[in-house]
Amino acid sequence: MGSLTRREVLTALVGAPFAGTLLSCERAPEIPLEGELLGPSESFGHHLRDPLPVSAWANAPTRRTEVAIVGGGPAGLSAAWRLLRRGQQDLRVVELEPRLGGTSASGRSAVTPFPWGAHYLPLPPASNHALRSLLQEMGAIDDARPAEEVLVREPDERVFYQGYWYPGLYPYAGASADDLAQLARFEARVASLVDAFQIPMRLSSRAPELLALDEIDAERWLRDLGFDSPRLFWLCDYACRDDYGLRLRDTSAWAFLFYWASRADAEGESAPLLTWPEGNGALVKHLGDALGDRQKLRRLAVHVREEAEGVRVLLAGPDGDREVLVASRAILAVPRFVARRLVPQLELTTEGFDQGAWLVANLHLQNRPPGRGVGPAWDNVLYDSPSLGYVVATHQRGRETGPTVWTYYLPLCQRDPRESRRALLEAEHEVLAEGAVRDLERAHPTLRQHLGQIDIWRWGHAMTRPRVGFLRGGARFHAGAPRGRIHFAHSDLSGVAIFEEAFDHGVRAADEVMAA
């Protein structure tokens, strides 16, 4: 690939208007922003594009196990957790990366743990017995009530709007009577749908009139119902960018309503949020700790095939070493586009499966830069930014002053993810870090004075995105059906990249294996 200019990189990541805003802030040269450029093992994983022939494993050592799980993200770890608790001890989890967790990965500094991806979990309903069981096992809930230390501490969120921080997420400052009336009408509409949309999504209604919502985008749905408040549209667009990495105009109206209604009660009140300093890294750590020596890290599954002796999984290491894992059953807990390459003989469809890219930056601060308006919250959102703002890793510990880590999230919402993915993976640390800092400086002008370093994580294939038509007429609900002795578990199968869906698919696949 040819080298991209700073303007081309920023335009691909945040769009031309905002890139122009960042580039217009040219200033005298400063001390370069220090930090690391991190991310998944792209080059190692790309060996799947042109894999070695099966014959290359002719003399590789062979090991046997009852269940082979390919993928150590939330879905694969959840499958292993379920199998272990149902008595199946003979299993192996194979993971490409040097650590488990997938997009729920986390890091740790001398100050605090912090997330590199997903960072919260809504309290699951009582009907979600398996996930409740996991949270009870972790001590996160007791008698169906969240433990105080994991319930998001007040103040939970604030929004930077027209130069000031305001409490909450909706920008009430200056809202007209019509703005507020539309907000109330929207909330009432969501409350009327809470029985139809449930987490996990397989429990949602499949009524034809609801499935038809997948054929239009969320913006059209709002306009068809007479909504036109810019503030409401901003809130709804923010929600789509937050959970899906999509703009309102590109999001399936079905998925849009699922976002709101599945987490609300009959009065429209949202479920309480649970979080940890390291975000959902706490969840995958608990799941991974149960594995012991059943995990095989830095192993790329290249071929998976069902044969008379079982399912053969051909593995490659980063140094060219090879081995064969033969299992009675295999669970592919990987994105759909990866599963299709692993088992080409099954001719898995990738129609409706869309992967978006994200940038996550962790800013290590020596102290807190001031801002105008209400004080710091856990979640800090900028109204006029393509980013989602930042969360504060030390917030749950009640540390309001002194060193901390801010985790900044930028979903790349362009319609062609290949363009933004290319820009993200080609860009240098300086360009990405400078873009993030300049974005935040609009709310915190003295940010650089407090910044120690800024580390960047590039997620080229971060999460599945529910574009218009992603349900494929309802076929999506059956995407996880097993093929012979090969089972599937990943949030891709739902088209909704949230921990609850990954966990549910892992549990479902484990139960299929046990039933077989």
CA distances from 412 to 349, 359, 387, 409, 437 (A): 24, 8, 9, 10, 17
What's the Rg (C-alpha) of the chain?
A: 23
How far is residue 516's CA from residue 18's CA, in Å, rounded to a whole number? 54
- What was the pLDDT predicted at 86? 97
CB-count burial class (<10 Å; 0-12, 13-18, 19+) for 282: buried
Instruction: Give the pLDDT score at 2.
Output: 45
Model pLDDT, residue 27: 55
pLDDT computed for residue 500 by the predictor: 97
CA atoms of 483 and 432, how far apart (whole Å): 42
- Cα separation, 303 vs 51, in Å, equals 8
* pLDDT computed for residue 22 by the predictor: 62
Give the pLDDT confidence score for residue 407 in this predicted structure. Answer: 98
Q: Which of 325, 281, 328, 335 is nearest to 299 (CA)?
A: 325
Instruction: Return all residues near 128 (Cβ < 8 A) that are at least 6 apart.
Output: 199, 200, 500
Please tell me the predicted confidence (pLDDT) of residue 20: 66
Residues 71-121 have pLDDT tens digits of 999 999 999 999 999 999 999 999 999 999 999 999 999 999 999 999 999
The whole-model pTM stands at 0.94
What confidence score (pLDDT) does residue 21 get?
64
CA distance 221 to 249: 10
Cis before 155 (ω within 30):
yes
Tens-place pLDDT, residues 204-232: 999 999 999 999 999 999 999 999 999 99
pLDDT at residue 256 in the model: 98
Q: Which two tokens stand for residue 1?
A: 């690939």
| Residue the block writes with tokens 């001398």 | 110
Q: How far apart are CA 147 and CA 153, in angstroms?
A: 11
Say if strands 91-95 and 106-108 run parallel, antiparallel, or are unpaired: unpaired
pLDDT in 10s for each residue of the chain, 516 residues: 345 566 666 676 666 656 666 666 555 446 679 999 999 877 777 778 888 899 999 999 999 999 999 999 999 999 999 999 999 999 999 999 999 999 999 999 999 999 999 999 999 998 899 999 999 999 999 877 899 999 999 999 999 999 999 999 999 999 999 999 999 999 999 999 999 999 999 999 999 999 999 999 999 999 999 999 999 999 999 999 999 999 999 999 999 999 999 988 766 778 899 999 999 999 999 999 999 999 999 999 999 999 999 999 999 999 889 999 999 999 999 999 999 999 999 999 999 899 999 999 999 999 999 999 999 999 999 999 999 999 999 999 988 889 999 999 999 988 788 888 888 888 889 889 988 999 999 999 999 999 999 999 999 888 899 999 999 999 999 999 999 999 999 999 999 999 999 999 999 999 999 999
* HEC sequence for 84-116: HHCCCCCEEEEECCCCCCHHHCEEECCCCEEEC
Q: Two tokens at 43?
A: 């080059």
For residues 288 and 302, is the Cβ–Cβ distance under 8 A? no
How many CA atoms within 13 Å lie on the side-chain side of 471?
A: 25
Task: Give the start-end residues of each E strand in 2-87.
Answer: 37-38, 62-70
